[in-house]
Amino acid sequence: MLHWPRPFSRATRRRNRRCTLAINSCRIPRYLVLDSIMTLILISIQDRKNALEEYIYDTRGKLDDRYAPFVQESEKSALLAALSEAEDWLYTEEGEDSTKSVYTARLDTLKALGDPIAKRYQEHEERAKSVYQLRETLNTYLAQATSTEDKYSHIEETEKQKVVEKCVVEEQWLKDMEVRQGERAKNVDPVLRNEEVLRKRDEMIYFAAPIMGRPKPKVSVAGGGGSSSTGGTPGTQTPQPEQQQQEEQKKEEREMDVD
């Protein structure tokens, strides 16, 4: 025997109607969706085009300014020629209306020539700070390892000596690298790189901090008769003040009875 499904209640039909109206009111026309997508694509393309144009003018100006000591003449000639060619292309019909991938590829080609020069300048500008940070770390741990202060007295001398030796080795490495870098022209790639200097500093911290930062062991408070509150002869306890006073009174009474 067939059974017809039970009809929805009035409340259910009202609820469904509200949901349908909400969905229809939020439905975006297809042409608006496509228009938004095209707008985002055009913005992305224009962004890459602007980045290429900006790199051309910015790099050309720096070559005769801050980058001048850090570029070889052959590098400068090749980069200037590439910048001019890219600039001329931008104002052709193809350059005015190209794709994002083409603008990106042209920018990457220019950066392959310009980044090594920019890197030398950046290394030179940040080297003093990196060297200072490493040397300050070495001096700090060397001072701690050779200190006679009580807060370091619990650390074994062999452990302190390891820290001293590590500091001496890293300081000598830094001095040698500074000499080699000083003999090197600015327009060639550096031998003393900031990344390596900061890595040496991190290694020093990871090596020395667990040793020199080792907490001093806690000393147990000693009780009466030289025995500690937690140790001493088994079965004995440190007498409390009231108990101690009562024992002294009993002792005095016994002495009086004897007399």
pLDDT at 42: 83
Q: At what angle do helices 194-212 and 157-182 cross, to 10 degrees?
A: 170
Which helix (H) or strand (E) segment is 36 a member of? Answer: helix 30-63
Note the pLDDT of residue 26. 56
Query: What is this structure's pTM?
Result: 0.69
Q: Where in the chain is the domain with CATH 1.20.1270.10?
A: 28-118
Q: How many CB atoms lie within 10 A of CB 106?
A: 22
For residue 142, CA distances in Å to 74, 146, 166, 167, 205 come to: 46, 6, 9, 6, 12
Residue 246's pLDDT is: 64
Q: Enter the DSSP assignment of 229.
A: S
DSSP state of 147: -
pLDDT at 230: 46
Q: What is the pLDDT of residue 251?
A: 61
Full pLDDT tens readout for the chain, 259 residues: 445 555 555 665 566 565 554 445 456 677 666 777 778 888 888 899 999 999 999 999 999 999 999 999 999 999 999 999 999 999 998 888 899 999 999 999 999 999 999 999 999 999 999 999 999 999 999 999 999 999 999 999 999 999 999 999 999 999 999 999 999 999 999 999 999 999 999 999 999 999 999 998 887 765 544 444 444 444 444 445 555 556 666 666 665 554 5
Supply the pLDDT for residue 14. 60
Token digits of residue 76: 């400068």
pLDDT attached to residue 2: 47
Is the CB of residue 69 less than 8 Å from the CB of residue 187? yes
Instruction: Give the fold, CATH level 3, of 28-118.
Output: Substrate Binding Domain Of Dnak; Chain:A; Domain 2 (1.20.1270)
- Distances in Å between the alpha carbon of 87 and those of 56, 91, 108, 115? 7, 7, 14, 18
